[in-house]
Structure 1
Amino acid sequence: LTPITSATELPASELLSKRQSSCAAGVYMIVARGSGEPQGPGRLSQVVQLIGQRIPNSVFTSVVYPANIVDFGAPAYPFSVREGIREVQRLIEARVNQCPNERIVLLGYSQGANACSTGLAGSGFGNPPLKEGLRKNIRGVALFGCPTQAANQSYNRGTATDGEGILGRTEVSLPQLNRYSNVLLQWCDRGDRVCAENIEPYDGAVHSNVVAKYATAAANHIANV
């Protein structure tokens, strides 16, 4: 286990281990990194640290999935993100089975935000929504630069609340995602083609910097939700 401030990493391989029987008194964070980041929390580590400072005795697990750097329209992207979606759902179910009363938080950046949001809402393309009995444990969600952002939702934050993600959010899955509107916030700024393709001009640095810019706001959201 690797300490990060007051949040401790729980490797996914240990989730079902008999040696790991204790449940977190704080929150249990499932962290999905962005495309091309090395395995681990990636940019989201600063959000994990800040949440750990605000909610002691918290733990986190990084989602193990390819997070391949590919064009969103390339055939490889759906395969990569689908593994992330399934792993997010698997981690949630495994943890609820182990710790039925634990508070679960999802953190996702870029492709990882796609994995988290679709892990909750499904997509209508062979990805079902999270099982109904697991919903009550989802106590906070913070997403950054999500390619499936839908415009003008109550939980949109940043300077591009009217942004439409490059992949969009299906009519089937948006109502499912909106069921989490009381615990979900997602940040997107103008210039970020990933989460606001409909707003030009684009600036690649905006997408790269969105986590750092809103890390404190996200941690405050999770601490107060």
Structure 2
Amino acid sequence: MRIPLCLAALTLTAGGVGLTTIDAPTASAATCSDIDVAAARGTFEPGTLGLIVGDPVFSALQKKLTGKSLSSYAVNYPADLSATSAAQGNADLVNHVKAQAAVCPNQRFILVGYSQGANVVDNSTGISSDGAVVGSPIVATIPAALEPKVAAVLLFGNPIRALGRSVTGTYQSRTIDFCAKGDPVCENGGDDVLAHLGYTADADAAATFAAGKV
């Protein structure tokens, strides 16, 4: 069942659900850290990397990867309900990985995507989000030569799952994809709108998974 776009807006608007502001990491580009965490936030999601997912995941990664230096990058895209939003994020994420790899050849990447941001990451790894809530056709993919530099892919509330799709192929073993029970954005027939806002609870599990891949 396709979820109306207005639901995506409702579920990702933080103002009415009692969310509180937390200290967020500072996003940076062209920093030759050991690991670059590139995060695509959800539709209308506040925060530097994303209040619900990106910021808490980055904090959890800092605690898990104490022997590594980390930088962060907030994917630059509208994260709104426009038809081209996810495609813009797709292009920006791929361009970022290519640019970083050119400047920092020893750097590896952890890709993080929440809701529409998961569509962005899906497309960038070659899995189309076309037809999903706030999805788009693929406009760019991470080049095959750079695929080994992607250590882990962390997805939350991934809309393609409601269509029966998932990350397969090259990135499958490096991907963890959280879908809360009843989340209508990633579960076909899900009816628990608030489930889509609860992925902060999975930040530690996601960081543990990523730490095992680095």
TM-score of the pair, normalised by structure 1: 0.73
Q: Which residue of 2 aligns with 1:107?
A: 112
Task: For structure 1, list consecutive stretches of 5 or more residues without a partner in the other structure.
Answer: 71-75, 150-163
Q: Which residue of 2 aligns with 1:79?
A: 84
State the distance in 2 between where 1:39 and 1:213 align: 16
**Identity of matched residues, %:** 28
The reply to whether residue 67 of structure 1 matches residue 79 of structure 2 is yes
C-alpha deviation, 1:130, in angstroms: 2.0
| 1:206-225 deviation per Cα after TM superposition (whole angstroms, max 9, x unaligned) | 0011x212111101001111
C-alpha deviation, 1:59, in angstroms: 1.0
Q: Which residue of 2 aligns with 1:131?
A: 143
Contact 1:117 1:177 in 2 (8 A): no
Contact 1:29 1:60 in 2 (8 A): yes
State the distance in 1 between where 2:138 and 2:202 align: 32
| 1:39-89 deviation per Cα after TM superposition (whole angstroms, max 9, x unaligned) | 621122111001011113211111111000x3xxxxx2x301100111110
Report how many aligned residue pairs link the two structures: 180
SS of the equivalent of 1:127 reads: coil
The reply to whether residue 34 of structure 1 matches residue 34 of structure 2 is no
What is the one-letter code of the residue matched to 1:141? V
What is the one-letter code of the residue matched to 2:196? H
Larger relative CO (CA 8 A, sep 6+): 1 or 2?
Answer: 2
TM-score of the pair, normalised by structure 2: 0.76
Q: Compute the RMSD of aligned alpha carbons.
A: 2.2
The reply to whether residue 179 of structure 1 matches residue 170 of structure 2 is yes
4+ runs of 1 displaced by more than 6 Å?
A: none
State the distance in 1 between where 2:26 and 2:147 align: 23
Q: Which residue of 1 aligns with 2:28?
A: 11
SS of the equivalent of 2:172 reads: coil
Contact 2:60 2:204 in 1 (8 A): yes
